[in-house]
Structure 1
């Protein structure tokens, strides 16, 4: 009897957990990760979603001029609109005169066609004293300003009336929509964003490459050196994290400027006759960015290298492989997840830099983040700022997908 009872107890212990137990385990897991999900939603998902919405949002004209916006939806865009559109414009201008929404609509229309702000302000001021013009609103508005008799003026109003617009995204790609609704390249003097995006990606690529060239040997040294030396070297690697980004960047200005420490040393040693231009150019930008971003390259590679047993290299040597061949065919492939993670982190952080290029870079070294900050804080053009951010985000996601395809997302994340 005792034996039978013990057997039943053992069988129950080996039996799979019940459905209620699994449900409780899932509930506990969900509750544990809920704060993290909430945090990521608040600080990552919602801001990104808001940025993407602002990149296509276009409610200013519809809010200030609802009547004429409705008329524009029914107008084909050929020639001039009907008399009802002129009348709707007059009613909307009377209703919105003196309100902030008219200023917002004027600013939005001014993006489409220069001079629209003054045109709307002047027209709104003039139509207040007119109730029923004898010749009709088309003739009255044209008499106030002849531009109301030009199809291009109404075409701009028609493009700016829908609640969603491709204007900001097209502008961020140096494109524009002409009066016929066709997409064309912007004038040569206005094409700045694609060049800036290319410069941003190039600076990020070069910085990442330099960090990889410097960081891989340093990570290998941290694994190979005795513990005491490795600890000192690790302190040097982590030293940039102990000061703020602004302080680190300003320190490089002191070191690299014409009267700085480095130029003074080179001059005293007789290596150069005149101070070198080491700052406020691309060289100074690379030096400062590599110094700041190098730990982000070293640490992921180091974490992978620590998990690689030295026996692999000894085994390759025992099989007759040259150390260089063993390194290239055995050791290096096993470090690729760390290399991929380090390159991704370095590149993603680097292309978003704003303070460092502004302080140590030159006029031709400003990156996309400069224009994002300029339009968000100075001109309050959130649409274009969001569009530039969305284009940069798309480039980063494309890079992430490419690296993930080559190396594997799981290996980069360290879960495989």
Structure 2
């Protein structure tokens, strides 16, 4: 190779003509042969992927073990009782379990008119029910759908031992009401342990002798009116709590810390006082000879004979429940307002917005999650309130919860109480669904 050729070979990136090959040949010769790499392993030789999967499974099991006690508590104290309540609303075997002969006749003959076998089965069941002292349960079950029949069963059962064929005439001699077709229709429906009659009663409806659904007598139509009253009063209380709680929550969020802490103590103070004490305090304030009326008379606003009746009516219930539920509105609002930077409103004011415009277009939309949470929380609590309406509501201020308690504790019609509670639960869930569709449950903030 001459000197010129040596210089060309010494230049970077130049290959002598006689030693040039294809690019592929040069590249293939420059890259070393690829070798298979072994999978990553832990110190004890387990593949890393397998070890990570095991660690994730263990973490999930630990999390499930921590949540399991709470889950069992919720199932035992919430899910199971609600399930039992809903089952009890459609199940009542007080008649079917103690009148076996008549139940068997109904099963065989369906809607046929009672024959001699039916009358005989009725007499046999009355005798046996009186012997095992279950005739009261049988009469009570029929009385739920047809008033006045409990005494019919108990009085006839005392004479059943002396009855002889023909049993139809014997029963009609004991009481002519046994020939009423409506009574036999009620017994036919009661022969099944599962029924929807209690839900019909909960909406002021029943079945006539032909089995058609009709309204009950006007003087017995109470449940629908009380349902509407409960919803109306709950909405009113929620709105009043919002109007009263919004400025208080705004003060809590904007005042200096030393003042806001004092105001927060005043807001939380009712939680440290018994609910019964707070309710009876309102009774002292609102009664006709109470503090409020005495002050109004002393100021000359009303006369001695013009004292305002604020107890044992809707007014007293709304006032007392608004005071009791007000903290449940303030706290969600405060938790949302606390996170709103004050600079937003100041920026709107600096751009020419009035105070009302800045509040309406900047501040209020950011508090909507707190408003939704507060209204929903107060409404649900108001719908199921019991103690306050029972003490200050009287006859016109009671809610559906008071009727549920009445049927549980006094009339012992647990199936009707369960049906009322089931309808109330369905109404609350429906309103919750509507709120989710219109506002969005994701926008609700409790803290």
Q: Is the 1:112–1:160 Cα contact (8 Å) retained in structure 2? A: no
**Residue among 111, 132, 157 paired with 1:99:** 132
Deviation at 1:315, TM superposition (A): 4.0
Say which one has the larger Rg.
2
2:249 and 2:333 in contact (8 A); partners too: yes
2:74 aligned to 21, 32, 40, which one? Answer: 40
The residue that corresponds to 2:376 in the other structure is 344
Tell me which residue corresponds to 2:53. 19
2:247 is aligned, of 196, 199, 217, to 217
Q: 1:8 to 1:128 in 2, by over 3 A?
A: closer
Give the 3 Å change call, closer, same or farther, for CA 144–335 of structure 1 in structure 2.
same
Deviations 1:288-317 (A, max 9, x none): 111100000111111111222223334444
Aligned CA-pair RMSD? 2.5
- Counterpart in the other structure of 2:357: 325
Question: What runs of 5+ residues in structure 1 fail to find an aligned partner?
Answer: none
Aligned residues: 404
Contact 2:335 2:446 in 1 (8 A): no
The change in CA–CA distance for 1:336 and 1:70 in structure 2 (over 3 A counts) is farther
The equivalent of 1:364 in structure 2 is 396
Aligned residue number for residue 377 of structure 1: 409
Deviation, 1:363, is 2.1
> Is the deviation greater in 373-382 or in 279-288?
279-288
Identify the residue that residue 280 of structure 2 maps to in structure 1: 250
- 1:108 aligns to 2:141 (yes or no): yes
Task: Tell which deviates more after alignment, 263-272 or 247-256.
Answer: 263-272
**CA 1:19 to 1:175, structure 2 compared with 1: closer, same or farther past 3 Å?**
same
Q: Secondary structure at the match of 1:365?
A: coil
With normalisation by structure 1, the TM-score equals 0.90
SS of the residue 2:96 aligns to: helix
Which of 216, 231, 234 aligns to 2:264? It is: 234
- Answer whether contact 1:285 1:361 (CA < 8 A) is retained: yes
CA distance in 2, matches of 1:52, 1:181: 24
Q: Contact 1:174/1:191 (CA < 8 Å) preserved in 2?
A: yes
Q: Judging changes above 3 Å, is the alpha-carbon distance between structure 1 residues 414 and 238 closer, same or farther for their aligned structure 2 residues?
A: closer
Which stretches in structure 2 are left out of the alignment for 5+ residues? Answer: 1-36
Length-normalised TM-score, structure 2: 0.84
Deviation at residue 103 of structure 1 after TM alignment:
1.2
CA shift, 1:85, in A, is 2.0
- 1:139 Cα deviation after fit: 3.8
Higher relative contact order (CA 8 A, sep 6+): 1
CA distance in 1 between counterparts of 2:243 and 2:446 reads: 22
More helix by share: 1
Q: Deviations over 1:135-191 (max 9, x none)?
A: 543344334333333322211211211111111111110111111111111111111
